[in-house]
Amino acid sequence: MTANVNPIFELTPQCTGQTFVNADATNLKTCFTAGGEGARIDGILVCSNSGSAENLAFYINDGATDFYIGNVAIPIGSGYTTVVKVDALLALKPALQNFIALHHAYLLKANAVVAVAANKTVTVVVLAGDY
C-alpha cells in the first residue's frame, strides 16, 4: 500500500466544551466529536472554580468502546485564581506529537474521577479542527 505523501490541513476550526458539575457524578460526557473526515485536537483547556483539587479521566470512543487515555489533575482554582488553567493535552498527548488525531465520528469524552464539589464547576474546552 502506498503511503500518503500529501499534507492534510484542518479545514474547519472547532471550539467545543463541556462543563462538569456535582450532579454529573462520575458519568462520562462528550467533550468533542470529530467530523466526517476526522479531526485534530490541538488543545484541551481546563478551568475549575472548586476549592479542592479535581481529577478528570479522558477517553477516546470509537462508536462502541471508551478507550481510557489518561487522567489529568486539576489544581485548586485553576484558571480562576493565581493558578493558571491546565492544558490537558500536554498530559494526554502521544509522544513526540503536539496533537491528537481522531478518526471520523470518534469522540473525546471525560468524566470527573470523583464528583465535582457542590456548587462548583470544572470546564473543559477543546480547540480542534475537522479535516
pLDDT per residue rounded down to tens, the chain (131 residues): 676 677 777 889 999 999 999 999 999 999 999 999 999 999 999 999 999 999 999 999 999 999 999 999 999 988 887 777 888 988 887 666 789 999 999 999 999 999 999 999 999 999 999 99
CATH architecture of 26-130: Sandwich (2.60)
Domain ranges of the chain: 26-130
Tell me the whole-structure pTM to 2 decimals.
0.90
Radius of gyration in angstroms for the set of CA atoms belonging to the chain, rounded to a whole number: 15
Distance CA 16, CA 78 (A): 19
Size (the chain), residues: 131
107-112 sheet: strands from edge to edge: 29-33, 107-112, 54-61, 66-74
- Evaluate whether 12 touches 129 at the Cβ level (below 8 Å): yes
